[in-house]
Amino acid sequence: MSLALAVAAGILVSGGLYLVLQRTLTRVVLGFGLLSHGANLVLLAAGGRAGAVPLVDGRRGMADPLVQAMILTAIVITFGITAFLLALAYRSWQLTRDDQVEDDREDRRIARLATRRGRR
């Protein structure tokens, strides 16, 4: 496994994680794009070195075709889910004219309770 793949996966995942933790939905969607690319690179690295064309003449130094199939499947799934996330973000914008995740009502109530207690 090459160091370049590992480093690239690390950069993608850290960037993706940073974006996912934002409150803006569009950034969350972009973050998931990066995260899933990072995961795909990990899968690619799991397949070992690049090699000859698989399954044609077989045997020696063949590249692992299975990880490619797994990555393709993961990409397809990510494609569908990203579309759904975008639709959700769009709907949220339609409803609130804002791109941010709203506070949980329960959380707000508890926060209010805490400040009231603190004041007393």
Q: By the criterion CB under 8 A, which residues form the site for another protein?
A: 1, 20, 25, 28, 32, 35-36, 38-40, 42-43, 45-48, 66-67, 70, 72-74, 76-77, 79-81, 83-88, 90-92, 94-96, 101-102, 104, 106
- Least distance in Å: CB of 101 to another protein? 6
* DSSP for residue 60: T
Alpha-carbon span 32 to 15, nearest angstrom: 10
- Judged by DSSP in three states, 62 sits in strand
- Judged by DSSP in three states, 53 sits in coil
Nearer to another protein, 46 or 118 (CB): 46
Tokens for 52, please give them: 């000859």
- Least distance in Å: CB of 83 to another protein? 5
Nearer to another protein, 48 or 51 (CB): 48
- Least distance in Å: CB of 116 to another protein? 18
- Least distance in Å: CB of 87 to another protein? 6
Residue type at position 75? I
Q: Residue 19 in contact with residue 30, Cβ under 8 Å?
A: yes
Nearer to another protein, 81 or 111 (CB): 81
Q: What distances in angstroms separate CA 22 from CA 53, 81, 94, one per listed residue?
A: 42, 19, 20
